[in-house]
Amino acid sequence: MAKTAFLFPGQGSQFAGMGKAMADEYPIAKAAFEEADDALGFSISKLCFEGPEDELKKTENTQPALVAVSTAHCRVLMAEKGIVPDIVAGHSLGEYSALVASGSLEFGDALRLVRKRGQYMQEAVPLGVGAMAAILKMPLDALDSVLAEAGQGEIVTAANLNSPDQIVIAGHAAAVGRAMELAKAAGAKRCIPLPVSAPFHCPLMSPAQQRLKADLDATVFHDLKFPLVNNYAAQLVATGAEARQGLYEQIPNPVQWIASMRLIIAEGAETFYEAGPGNVLAGLLRNIDSARAVTPFA
């Protein structure tokens, strides 16, 4: 039987004004933003709806803002449209939104966790020490050798295995720069430095992982109402303990998005919704499997 999957975007999908039209149209979305404001003790809704952009881009703000918008969107899909997922996945930060949707995490707990996650990630590496870059259309079999040669005693690893045509790398700034040059020589079509404040999903994030552990351990995780495919191992998760462990492991490890989408498709998903702002995940899905498409939100 054909299944429905909800996909939840991560950092990079945010923009000033996101969620406002939805909150204006749907009382259930407006209520979700009010709940988010109460949980955080400040108006994350105002930041989503009005910006300013430079405040919204701060990692500690971006992360709860995206969880708020994604959760509001998910509630509209489920309560207003009557669409219930059979399986969920979230890209990096989006895994928290996916766990809220599945009933594993309480909305307020997820918002508070990701605000701390953003702070810890920002503080793990001094500004300018780390970097990230997108490598476009490089043969995947060349990736390991490029990263090994670029290291020279520093860290540079795959951070997001997004699609066959897009790999994001992260690590020390100089090592990322060397990897970009080597990737071009190995046949990459383009290498694009990313405007991020920290090198996410690489071993330089280990201090953030250790700091977040106490917060994760202190948070209640329920067993899931429907399964999630996690980032860290691209495996199906059904219990609260597995969900908590996945959020811990994802911080210094790459997002296995290609494998995650292939597993969701293998599990029978034929209808996909991107619950959150933008359409980044729709583009990645098309690139992973051209026969699949995200259904537009209407």
- Average pLDDT in the 123-141 region? 93
Where are the chain's structural domains?
3-124+203-288, 130-193
Q: What's the pLDDT band for 196 if we cut at 50, 70, 90?
A: confident
Q: Cβ(188)–Cβ(143) under 8 Å? A: no
Q: Please, are residues 232 and 135 in contact by the beta-carbon 8 Å criterion? A: no
Nearest to 247 by CA among 284, 295, 213, 287: 213
Residue 261 and residue 276: Cα distance in Å, rounded? 17
* Share above pLDDT 90 across residues of the chain, in percent, rounded to a whole number: 94
Residue keyed to tokens 């009010």: 34
272: left (phi over 0), alpha (psi -120 to 50) or beta: beta
Rounded Cα–Cα distance for residues 155 and 257 (Å)? 22
Q: For the chain, give the mean pLDDT.
A: 96
pLDDT tens string 84-113: 999 999 999 999 999 999 999 999 999 999
CB 250 within 8 A of CB 121: no
Q: How far apart are CA 122 and CA 198, in angstroms?
A: 6
Whether residue 22 has pLDDT greater than 60:
yes
Please name every residue paired with 228 in a beta bridge, in sequence order, or none if there are none: 88, 237
What's the pLDDT at 296?
87
Question: 269 - beta bridge partners?
Answer: 3
Angstrom distance (rounded) from CA 266 to CA 221? 27
Strands 166-172 and 130-136: antiparallel
User: What local confidence, expressed as pLDDT, does residue 238 receive?
Assistant: 98
Residue 145 is predicted with a pLDDT of 97
Across the range 240-249, mean pLDDT stands at: 98
Q: Which residues are catalytic?
A: 92, 201
pLDDT of 298 over the 70 cut: no
CA gap 279, 266 in Å, rounded: 22
- The widest CA-to-CA distance across the chain, in whole angstroms, is 55
CB 129 within 8 A of CB 177: no
Cα 158 from Cα 222, distance rounded (Å): 31
Structure letter (DSSP) for residue 142: G
**Residue 293 corresponds to which amino acid?**
A
Query: Is residue 282 scored above 80 in pLDDT?
Result: yes
Question: Quick one: average pLDDT of 213-226?
Answer: 98
Handedness of CA 141, 143, 149, 155 (dihedral sign): negative
Is-contact 297 273, C-beta < 8 A?
A: yes
Torsion region of 260: left, alpha or beta (phi above 0 gives left; psi -120 to 50 gives alpha) = alpha
Question: What is the pTM assigned to this prediction?
Answer: 0.96
Give 296's DSSP letter.
P
- Judged against a pLDDT cut of 90, whether residue 195 lies above it is answered with no
Residue 171 has pLDDT above 60, yes or no: yes
| Range scoring the smallest mean pLDDT among 109-118, 211-220, 273-282, 289-298 | 289-298
3-class secondary-structure state, position 103: coil
State what percent of residues in the chain have pLDDT above 70.
Answer: 100
CATH number of 130-193: 3.30.70.250
The answer to whether domain 3-124+203-288 has CATH 3.40.462.40 is no
